[in-house]
Structure 1
Amino acid sequence: MSTKIRVAIAGIGSCASALVQGVEFYLRNPDNTIGLMYPEIGGYKTADIEFVLGFDIDERKVDTFLQEALYAQPNCNMQVIDPASKFQCIETNARTFRGPTLDGIAPHMRNYHPSITFQEDQKAHEISAAEYKDLLKKYQVDILLNYMPVGAEEASKWYITNAIEAGVHVINCMPTFISTDDARTLELLAIQHKVTIVGSDMRSSYGASRLSEVLQGSMMDAGLVVTQHIQMNMAAGTTQGQEHIINGRSANTDFLNMAEKARLYNKHVSKENVLSGQSIVRGKGLEGMTMFAGPSLTVVQRPGGAYMGTDNKVCNIDLVAYGFAGARYELTARLSVQDSPNSGGIVVDAIRFCRVAREMDIVGYLRGPSAWSQKTPPVQMTTADAKFECDAMARRVYTPITEQQKISHLYNGDILLKEKVKGLTFTFQKGKTEYE
Structure 2
Amino acid sequence: MTKIKVGIVGVGDCCSSLVQGVSSYNDGEFVGLKFENFGGYKPSDIEFTAAFDIDSLKVGKDLSEAIFAKTNRYEKVNEVNPLGVIVQKGEIMDGVGEYLHDQIKVDDKPSVKVSEVLKKSKTEILINFIPTGSVQATKWYAEQAINAGCAFINTTTTEIARSKEWTQRFKEAKLPLAGDDIMDQIGATIIHKALLEFLVRRGVKIDETYQLDIGGGTESLATLEKARGDIKREVKRKTIQESVPYEVPIIAGTTDYVDFMKNTRDSYFWISGKYFNSTPVKMDITLRTVDAPNSTSILLDVIRGLKIAIDRKLYGAIDTLCAYGFKRPPKSYSLIETEKMINEYIEGKRNK
Matched, 1:264 2:229: yes
User: What is the aligned partner in structure 2 of residue 199 from structure 1?
Assistant: 179
User: What is the aligned partner in structure 2 of residue 59 from structure 1?
Assistant: 56
Q: Counterpart of 1:7 in structure 2: which amino acid?
A: V
1:58-115 deviations in Å (ceiling 9; x for gaps): 0111122111111112111121223xx525xx3xx211110111011113322x4xxx
1:107-138 deviations in Å (ceiling 9; x for gaps): 3322x4xxxx211112x1212xxx21111111
User: What is the aligned partner in structure 2 of residue 276 from structure 1?
Assistant: 241
User: What is the aligned partner in structure 2 of residue 358 from structure 1?
Assistant: 310
Matched, 1:321 2:303: no
1:206-265 deviations in Å (ceiling 9; x for gaps): 110110110011011112221212010111xxxxxxxxxxxxxxx222211222212222
Give the 3-state SS of the residue equivalent to 1:52 in structure 2. strand
Report the CA distance between 1:33 and its aligned residue: 1.6
Is contact 2:16-2:74 (8 Å) kept?
Answer: yes
CA distance in 1, matches of 2:179, 2:111: 27
For residues 114-193 of structure 1, the aligned pairs below 5 Å read: 117-122=103-108, 124-127=109-112, 131-177=113-159, 183-193=163-173
1:368–1:18 distance in 2 versus 1, CA, 3 Å:
same
Is contact 1:151-1:265 (8 Å) kept?
Answer: no
Matched, 1:35 2:17: no
Report the CA distance between 1:178 and its aligned residue: 6.9
User: What is the aligned partner in structure 1 of residue 20 from structure 2?
Assistant: 21
Report the CA distance between 1:179 and its aligned residue: 9.5
CA distance in 1, matches of 2:202, 2:141: 43
Matched, 1:285 2:246: yes
Report the CA distance between 1:295 and its aligned residue: 2.6
Is contact 2:210-2:251 (8 Å) kept?
Answer: yes
TM-score with structure 1 length normalisation?
0.78
Is contact 1:356-1:393 (8 Å) kept?
Answer: no
CA distance in 2, matches of 1:269, 1:366: 23
Q: Counterpart of 1:15 in structure 2: which amino acid?
A: C
Matched, 1:209 2:186: no
CA distance in 2, matches of 1:74, 1:23: 21
Report the CA distance between 1:396 and its aligned residue: 2.3
Q: Counterpart of 2:51 in structure 1: which amino acid?
A: G
For residues 211-250 of structure 1, the aligned pairs below 5 Å read: 211-235=191-215
Q: Which among 88, 96, 115 is matched to residue 105 of structure 1?
A: 96
Q: Counterpart of 1:81 in structure 2: which amino acid?
A: N
Q: Counterpart of 2:316 in structure 1: which amino acid?
A: G
1:291-336 deviations in Å (ceiling 9; x for gaps): 1102342124xxxxxxx66111111111112232322221111110
Report the CA distance between 1:203 and its aligned residue: 1.4
CA distance in 2, matches of 1:40, 1:190: 27
Q: Which among 322, 325, 332 is matched to residue 373 of structure 1?
A: 325
CA distance in 2, matches of 1:359, 1:351: 13
Is contact 2:161-2:329 (8 Å) kept?
Answer: no
CA distance in 2, matches of 1:230, 1:154: 31
1:225–1:179 distance in 2 versus 1, CA, 3 Å:
farther
1:202–1:275 distance in 2 versus 1, CA, 3 Å:
same
Please, which moves more after superposition, 258-267 or 135-144? 258-267
CA distance in 1, matches of 2:69, 2:348: 39
Aligned-pair identity in percent equals 28
Q: How many equivalent residue pairs?
A: 352
Structure whose alpha-carbon radius of gyration is higher: 1
CA distance in 2, matches of 1:329, 1:77: 38
For residues 272-421 of structure 1, the aligned pairs below 5 Å read: 272-279=237-244, 284-286=245-247, 289-300=248-259, 310-398=262-350, 402=351, 405=352
Give the 3-state SS of the residue equivalent to 1:8 in structure 2. strand
CA distance in 2, matches of 1:351, 1:46: 9
Q: Counterpart of 1:36 in structure 2: which amino acid?
A: L
CA distance in 2, matches of 1:53, 1:328: 55
CA distance in 2, matches of 1:95, 1:195: 26
1:58–1:217 distance in 2 versus 1, CA, 3 Å:
same
Is contact 2:160-2:166 (8 Å) kept?
Answer: no
1:359–1:178 distance in 2 versus 1, CA, 3 Å:
closer
Give the 3-state SS of the residue equivalent to 1:232 in structure 2. strand
Please provide the CA RMSD for this pair: 1.6
Q: Counterpart of 1:204 in structure 2: which amino acid?
A: D
User: What is the aligned partner in structure 2 of residue 7 from structure 1?
Assistant: 6
Is contact 2:161-2:317 (8 Å) kept?
Answer: no
Give the 3-state SS of the residue equivalent to 1:175 in structure 2. coil
CA distance in 2, matches of 1:15, 1:48: 19
TM-score with structure 2 length normalisation?
0.96
Structure 1 segments unaligned to the other structure (5+ residues) = 236-250, 301-307, 406-436
Is contact 2:209-2:250 (8 Å) kept?
Answer: yes
Matched, 1:252 2:217: yes
